[in-house]
């Protein structure tokens, strides 16, 4: 089973 | 004063088609270097980054940096009113709350302008780090679109496996399973038909078909698409826009639960 990652977990807020 | 002109409305129509399914609205950041847009889709799974260089426009003037928040559905309605071979000019005054799209026919006999209200969007900008990707694949954009469309029939997700030998797209579900393998091409006549793989480390990653299919809406912009992948980081799907810039889509991978 896989779950969808969130893009904000990879790129930091500017 | 901001003014940007393209001699052909087709490019702008195609750009909007490439983003409007993923984004309801977006902020176009304008400076003397060009126009940029960065926005996440509503569910924060993917990120769209659009760069249009000022030197790619037929006329470009931007006296002061300005950010124009636009409803992309409204923008699409307006661009529908342009003929493909119309010249399109986007204009805004400094600190204005509206933007004007002007369309001029080839023979100058028809001139239309559409004014659209701007929106104040409180969008978060993310910093995208420079990354050396383990695998970079360049392939015909039509081929990528075809594979994404075909495999989406079998599963919600597609596994992309890239090695030195080639790249494999796989999907499995209730119906059964599907695998599409592409080998690197040698000696192709046309550059746009080439499949090129630059690999440092092999990678296996899983992505949602829904988003990949949304990205392929950019296919009319470019003959080739570039996929950049590393383990456990977002995939980058890049379409170059000839002489004007590029559109990059970042997609968070699916991870083991």
Minimal Cβ distance to A2: which of B40, B206, B233: B206
Q: Which residues of A touch B (CB under 8 A)?
A: 1-14
How far is CA B124 from its chain centroid? Answer: 19
pLDDT in tens, B89-101: 999 998 889 999 9
| pLDDT at B189 exceeding the cut of 90 | no
Report the gap between the CA of B206 and the closest CA in chain A (Å).
8
B111-116, Cβ contacts within 8 angstroms, sequence gap of 24 or more = B112/B81, B114/B78, B114/B81, B116/B70, B116/B71, B116/B74, B116/B75, B116/B78
Q: Catalogue the E-assigned strands of B86-215.
A: 87-92, 98-104, 111-117, 126-127, 135-140, 157-162, 166-172, 177-183, 196-199, 203-208
Angle at B25 between CA B49 and CA B3, to 5 degrees: 75
Number of Cβ pairs < 8 A linking chain A and chain B: 60
Cβ distance B252 to A1 less than 8 Å, yes or no, reads no
| pLDDT at A1 exceeding the cut of 80 | no
Structural contact between residues B10 and B104, judged by C-beta atoms closer than 8 angstroms: no
pLDDT in tens, B123-150: 788 999 999 999 999 999 999 999 999 9
Across B161-184, average pLDDT: 96
Q: Which chain B residue is nearest to residue A10, measuring alpha carbons?
A: B233
pLDDT score, position B95? 84
Cβ distance B252 to A13 less than 8 Å, yes or no, reads no
Minimal Cβ distance to A8: which of B44, B157, B254: B44
Angle at B37 between CA A4 and CA A10, to 5 degrees: 30
Question: B119: which DSSP letter?
Answer: B
């Amino acid at each position: 089973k896989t779950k969808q990652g969130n893009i904000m977990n990879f790129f930091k807020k500017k | 004063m901001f003014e940007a002109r393209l001699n052909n409305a087709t490019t702008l129509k195609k750009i909007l088609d490439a983003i409007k399914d993923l984004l309801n609205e977006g902020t176009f950041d304008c400076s003397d270097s060009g126009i940029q847009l960065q926005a996440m889709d509503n569910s924060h799974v993917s990120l769209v980054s659009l760069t249009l260089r000022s030197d790619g426009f037929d006329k470009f003037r931007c006296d002061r940096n300005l950010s124009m928040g636009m409803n992309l559905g409204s923008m699409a309605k307006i661009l529908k009113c342009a003929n493909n071979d119309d010249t399109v000019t986007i204009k805004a005054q400094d600190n204005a709350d509206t933007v004007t799209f002007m369309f001029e026919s080839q023979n100058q006999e028809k001139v239309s302008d559409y004014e659209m209200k701007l929106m104040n969007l409180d969008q978060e900008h993310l910093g995208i780090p420079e990354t050396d990707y383990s695998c970079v694949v360049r392939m015909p954009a039509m081929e990528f679109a075809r594979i994404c469309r075909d495999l989406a029939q079998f599963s919600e997700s597609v596994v992309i496996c890239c090695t030195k030998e080639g790249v494999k797209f796989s999907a499995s579900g209730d119906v059964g399973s599907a695998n599409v393998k592409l080998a690197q091409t040698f000696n192709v006549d046309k550059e746009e038909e080439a499949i090129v793989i630059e690999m440092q480390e092999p990678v296996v990653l899983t992505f949602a078909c829904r988003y990949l299919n949304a990205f392929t809406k950019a296919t009319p912009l470019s003959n080739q698409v570039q996929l950049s992948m590393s383990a456990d980081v977002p995939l980058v799907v890049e379409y170059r826009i000839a002489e004007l810039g590029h559109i990059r889509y970042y997609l968070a991978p699916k991870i083991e639960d």
